[in-house]
């Protein structure tokens, strides 16, 4: 009998500590399941950020290290130098990557580091407690934009995928969403494509996941899923922003 | 041993780190140590190593953390303001117990300060500029040969203690040239057997996920974190006994004792000779390890001594350790210059003699 | 000689750093203790390039100096700024090709070395600093001629080996004036 669904070896057999309706678990699974399907789970080295997913190493069944706020791409660059043949990835949230870690992500992308960054964009600081992130939408309330973010006061949200697309070293950039089964299936394809391009050592690869944070958004899980489609996708359009031009290993 | 070669301090430091087995270097240019990243970019790739210019010192220390966590033997260097930026990483590496060899070719502060030599990073390197309870062994050479020998041995120390080890040189040592004998190249460690040598390193666990490794710093449970920090400090207590190092001369029958490290110790040696010619017997204690500080050396000071003088290129930082070492036995005084100004041996001798005469009531 | 402190000063491009380094190399080849320290302290603000060399039979405590057995002044600002550094009885070597002002000190020995004119006599303007280096070595005796030649032989190798003779003859070109 063929199983229709099973645990993946990529995830540790423990409960995650994420809130109900949070999509971290889905993203974790997409990444580790894909590594397993590629036969690279034992070759993978992950870098966890600061934020809710700082303890991703408890859930993802790969060798991992933690990193200080925003520094994951620099840490991964160092790991990559020691293990040029392994699969190296960072997993980062929006406060970590798009605010305190902007220098590290931009330069890792510019250098064309042969790593993959998985970027969880949920428009808010999660673990820290619902503060305004660089990706918080205009009008969105947070504990540091209590009447809603304004352009005048905080500027416009950063579209990280588009920003990184300007860099030649970034060879694959795609934004996906985790709000529906169809989008999740598409997200898995993006994960696979990013990791395959890393395997072929073509350059820096990046997948942005539009994700949820029902707790800090103040929404029920189902409503949070809907908000991704109604509020986030209009500002953060899904799609492939960059693909390898030359399909051969350097 | 090979023959003597004449090398600029910074280049000798870089070469010593390579020969000591450091295969990975991450750096960012800053005066007065930019010759080091330049040298590494030229030398490392052709010798089987890796050079990477980081986007900032923050990037460099975190690359170093990644490479060290992955089992690589890593060397980084910078100068005072850059070392300040690296403190977040230093604290992190200590907590995660990742080895690293770091070099501070120090200059003056505060702020951007100046590019001239200074020793005002004493607190930064010995007390830790980063957050939390941690310690970093710090060694202060006073010549290029000594710096070379310390750097050559540092990778082994860092691996043994699973902790960053810092060499604290100053701009004079970085910029000057002196004949030096370079030790033999130690072979770079084979990346394929990292897991055997460093069973804690993140390398990818291969076929056996029971051997999954995690290198981490975060411990959310207070009881867990307390045990972690206590364990670190048991390690530091052992390091304190094993790593303490100093050179002292003439302290048993000295009228006065000067304490100085690095370049200031070289000037002090000349001042001691000058004062000897004037009939004042001055002993010299030169701490080589700044942490652990050689408090025990002060027990050797003989009964004739009237005063202990801390001579520093700062407003007086090491003097706090000197006071701990001396206790209430003797008065402790400071001779200092700052801002990049360096006293001549004559100036130091005159000031030390004046202090001695004042204290001795002559 | 137990110890000699030398100070070389001029403007960038006059070969000041090279003179200092070659002296240091020569001292090392003689098995002497030696240190070299380039302009890096506050004195670099005068628009001059300079360096300090100490050569000694004993270990050198301090690479920094505040007085010198010999100062080499390659341009006027160097003379003005560093004349006072020469110890009483010490030596001042003046590049009189471009320094017309006379030193004010009466307690030191001054040698005029018009390096540009002498280099022109040799037929190569680029060896001016080697002429000055020869003057320094002969007036101070800090290192031997043979050691300097050895430095040149180690410096100029391969296709540059043909430059050795030119540099050696430049080194030998300036003659010590006979004492009256």
Q: Which residue has the tokens 């020995």?
A: C109
pLDDT at B70 over 60: yes
pLDDT at C43 > cutoff 90: no
pLDDT of residue A250: 46
- Report how far Cα B15 is from the mean position of its chain's Cα atoms: 17
The pLDDT of residue B167 is above 80: yes
Compute the average pLDDT of residues B66-81. Answer: 97
Nearest 5°: CA angle at B136, between B215 and B338? Answer: 140
Q: What is the dihedral of CA B67, B69, B74, B80, to 10 degrees?
A: 100
Spell out the domains of chain C, with CATH numbers in brackets. 3-173 (3.40.920.10)
Question: Rounded to an integer, what distance in angstroms lies between the CA atom of residue B58 and that of residue A106?
Answer: 14
pLDDT score of A247 more than 70: no
> Can you give the residue ranges of every domain in chain A?
24-242
Helix locations, A155-206, DSSP H = 160-164, 181-199
What's the mean pLDDT when you consider all of chain A? 96
Quick: pLDDT tens for C45-90: 445 789 999 999 999 988 989 899 999 999 999 999 999 999 999 9
**pLDDT at residue number C41:** 47
> Which pLDDT does position B190 carry in this prediction?
87
β-pairing, C49-56 with C33-38? antiparallel
Q: What is the pLDDT of residues C20-39, one digit of tens each?
A: 999 999 999 999 999 999 98
DSSP, residue by residue, B146-197: HHHHHHHHHHHHHHHHTSEEEEEEEHHHHH-EEEEEPPPPPPPPPGGGHHHH
Buried residues in A157-173 as b, exposed as e (16+ CB within 10 A): bbbbbebbbebebbbbb
- Looking at residue C179, its pLDDT comes to 66
**Least confident window among A228-237, B1-10, C85-94:** B1-10
> Looking at residue B12, what is its pLDDT?
98
Does residue B190 sit at the A interface (CB-CB below 8 Å)?
no
pLDDT over 80 at C178, yes or no: no
DSSP A30-60: HHHHHHHHTT-GGGEEEEE-SSGGGGGGGTB
CA nearest to B62 within chain A: A75
Please report the pLDDT score of residue B239 as a whole number. 97
Per residue in B184-233, pLDDT tens?
999 998 888 999 999 999 999 999 999 999 999 999 999 999 999 999 99
Q: Does CATH place domain A24-242 in 3.40.50.2300? A: no
Percent pLDDT > 90 in chain B is 95
Tell me if B136 sits within 8 A of B147, measured CB to CB.
no
The overall average pLDDT reported for chain B is 96
pTM exceeding 0.90: yes
User: Coil, strand or helix: which one is C155?
Assistant: helix
Question: Which of A155-164, B1-10, B43-52, B203-212 bottoms out in mean pLDDT, i.e. has the lowest?
Answer: B1-10
Residue A1's pLDDT band (cuts 50, 70, 90): confident
**Helices and strands per DSSP (H, E), number in chain B:** 13, 16
| Residues C114/C101, Cβ–Cβ less than 8 Å | no
Query: According to the model, what pLDDT value does residue A9 have?
Result: 95
Query: CB B346 to CB C66 under 8 A?
Result: yes
B345, C40: Cβ pair inside 8 Å? no
pLDDT, position C42: 46
Find the CB nearest B266 among C41, C62, C66.
C62
Chains B and C touch (3+ CB pairs under 8 A): yes
Residue ranges of domains in chain B = 4-194, 247-360
ipTM: 0.94
Distance CA A116, CA A113 (A): 8
CA nearest neighbour of A80 among A161, A175, A199, A189: A199
Residue B157 has pLDDT above 50, yes or no: yes
Q: Is B77 left (phi over 0), alpha (psi -120 to 50) or beta?
A: beta
- B247-360 and B4-194 share a CATH fold: yes
> What is the pLDDT confidence band of residue C40, given thresholds at 50, 70 and 90?
low
Helices (H), C49-127: 76-82, 115-122
Chain A residue with CA closest to B206: the answer is: A42
In this structure, how many other beta carbons lie within 10 angstroms of the beta carbon of residue B306? 18
- Tell whether B179 lies on the interface with A, counting CB pairs under 8 A: no
| Shortest alpha-carbon distance between residue A9 and chain B (Å) | 9
At A248 the pLDDT is 46
- Which of B171, B179, B266 faces C61 most closely, judged by CB atoms? B266
Q: pLDDT tens digits for C131-146?
A: 999 999 999 999 999 9
CB-CB contact of A178 with A136 (8 Å): no
CATH topology for the B4-194 domain: Rossmann fold (3.40.50)
For chains A and C, tell me whether 3 or more CB atom pairs sit within 8 A of each other.
no
Would the CB atoms of B344 and C40 count as touching at under 8 Å? Answer: no
Question: What size, in residues, is chain B?
Answer: 362
- Cβ within 8 Å, pair B92-A68: yes
Strands B214-215 and A116-121: unpaired
A204-210 and A116-121 as β-strands: parallel, antiparallel, unpaired? parallel
Condensed to tens digits (0 to 9), the pLDDT of residues A16-34 reads 999 999 999 999 999 999 9
What is residue C180's predicted lDDT score, i.e. its pLDDT? 53
> Across chain C, how many H-helices and E-strands are there?
6, 6
Grouping H, G, I as helix, E, B as strand and the rest as coil, residue B139 is: strand
B247-360: CATH, from 3.90.1150.10, 3.40.50.920, 3.30.1330.60, 1.20.1250.20:
3.40.50.920
- Give every CB contact of residue C44 below 8 A, 6+ residues apart in sequence: C50
B359: its two tokens: 């204290």
- The distance of C66 to chain B (nearest Cα, Å) reads 7
Q: What is the pLDDT of residues B320-358, one digit of tens each?
A: 999 999 999 999 999 999 999 999 999 999 999 999 999
Listed range (A100-114, B9-23, C50-64, C138-152) with the worst mean pLDDT: C50-64
Residues in A lying within 8 Å of B, measured between beta carbons: 9, 41-45, 47, 54-55, 57, 61-68, 71, 74-83, 86-87, 103-104, 106-107
């Amino acid at each position: 009998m063929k199983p229709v669904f099973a645990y993946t070896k990529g995830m540790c057999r423990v409960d995650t500590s994420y809130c109900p309706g949070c999509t971290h678990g889905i993203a974790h699974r997409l990444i580790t399941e894909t590594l397993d399907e590629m036969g690279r789970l034992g070759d993978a080295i992950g870098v966890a950020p600061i934020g809710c997913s700082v303890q991703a190493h408890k859930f993802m069944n790969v060798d991992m290290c933690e990193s200080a706020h925003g520094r994951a791409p620099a840490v991964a660059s160092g790991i990559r130098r020691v293990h040029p043949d392994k699969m190296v990835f960072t997993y980062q949230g929006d406060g970590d990557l798009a605010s305190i870690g902007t220098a590290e992500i931009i330069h890792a992308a510019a250098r064309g580091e042969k790593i993959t960054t998985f970027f969880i964009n949920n428009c808010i600081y999660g673990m820290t407690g619902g503060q305004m992130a660089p990706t918080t939408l205009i009008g969105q309330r947070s504990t540091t934009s209590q009447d809603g973010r304004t352009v005048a006061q905080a500027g416009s949200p950063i579209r990280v995928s588009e920003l990184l697309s300007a860099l030649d070293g970034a060879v694959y950039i795609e934004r996906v969403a985790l709000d529906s089964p169809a989008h999740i299936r598409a997200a898995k394809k993006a994960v696979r494509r990013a990791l395959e391009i890393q395997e072929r050592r073509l350059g820096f690869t990046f997948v942005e996941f539009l994700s949820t944070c029902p707790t800090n958004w103040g929404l029920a899980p189902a409503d949070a899923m809907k908000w991704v489609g109604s509020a986030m996708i209009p500002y953060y359009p899904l799609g492939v922003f960059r693909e390898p031009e030359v399909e051969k290993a350097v | 041993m090979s023959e003597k070669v004449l090398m600029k301090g910074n280049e000798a430091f870089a070469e010593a780190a390579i020969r000591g087995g450091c295969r990975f270097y991450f750096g960012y240019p800053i005066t007065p140590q930019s010759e080091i990243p330049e040298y590494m970019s030229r030398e490392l790739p052709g010798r089987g190593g890796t050079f990477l210019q980081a986007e900032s010192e923050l990037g460099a220390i975190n690359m170093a953390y990644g490479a060290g966590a992955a089992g690589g033997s890593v060397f980084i260097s910078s100068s005072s303001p850059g070392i300040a930026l690296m403190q977040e990483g230093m604290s992190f590496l200590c907590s995660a117990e990742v080895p690293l060899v770091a070099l501070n070719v120090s200059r003056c502060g505060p702020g951007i300060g100046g590019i001239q030599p200074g020793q005002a990073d004493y607190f930064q390197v010995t007390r830790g500029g980063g957050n939390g309870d941690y310690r970093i062994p710090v060694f202060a050479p006073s010549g290029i040969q000594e710096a070379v020998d310390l750097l050559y041995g540092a990778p082994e120390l860092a691996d043994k203690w699973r902790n960053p080890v810092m060499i604290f040189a100053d701009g004079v040592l970085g910029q000057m040239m002196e004949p030096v004998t370079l030790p033999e190249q130690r072979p770079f460690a084979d990346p394929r057997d990292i897991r055997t040598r460093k069973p804690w390193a993140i390398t990818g666990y291969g076929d056996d996920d029971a051997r999954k490794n995690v290198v981490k710093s975060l411990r959310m449970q207070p009881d867990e974190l307390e045990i972690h920090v206590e364990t670190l400090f048991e390690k530091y207590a052992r390091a304190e006994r094993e790593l303490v190092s100093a050179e002292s001369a003439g302290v048993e029958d000295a009228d006065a004792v000067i304490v100085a490290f690095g370049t200031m110790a070289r000037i002090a040696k000349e001042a001691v000779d000058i004062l000897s010619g004037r009939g004042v017997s001055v002993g010299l204690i030169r701490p080589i390890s700044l942490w652990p500080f050689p408090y025990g050396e002060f027990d050797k000071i003989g009964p004739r001594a009237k005063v202990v003088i801390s001579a520093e290129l700062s407003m007086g930082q090491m003097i706090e350790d000197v006071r701990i070492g001396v206790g209430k036995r003797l008065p402790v005084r400071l001779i200092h210059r700052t801002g990049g100004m360096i006293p001549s041996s004559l100036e130091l001798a005159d000031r030390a003699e004046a202090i001695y005469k004042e204290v001795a009531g002559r | 000689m137990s110890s000699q402190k030398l100070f070389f000063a001029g403007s960038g491009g006059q070969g000041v750093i090279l003179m200092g380094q070659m002296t240091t190399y020569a001292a090392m080849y003689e098995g002497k203790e030696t240190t070299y320290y380039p302009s890096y302290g506050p004195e670099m603000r005068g628009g001059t390039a300079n360096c300090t060399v100490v050569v000694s039979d004993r270990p050198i405590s301090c690479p920094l100096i505040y007085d010198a057995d010999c100062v080499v002044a390659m341009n006027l600002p160097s003379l003005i700024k560093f004349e006072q550094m020469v110890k009483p009885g010490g030596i001042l070597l003046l590049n009189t090709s471009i320094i017309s002002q006379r030193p004010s000190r009466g307690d030191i020995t001054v040698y005029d070395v018009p390096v540009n004119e002498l280099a022109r006599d040799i037929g190569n303007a680029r060896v001016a600093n080697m002429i000055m280096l020869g003057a320094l070595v002969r007036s101070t005796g800090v290192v031997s001629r043979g050691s300097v030649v050895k430095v040149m032989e180690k410096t100029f190798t391969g296709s540059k080996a043909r430059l050795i003779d030119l540099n050696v003859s430049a080194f030998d070109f300036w003659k010590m004036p006979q004492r009256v």
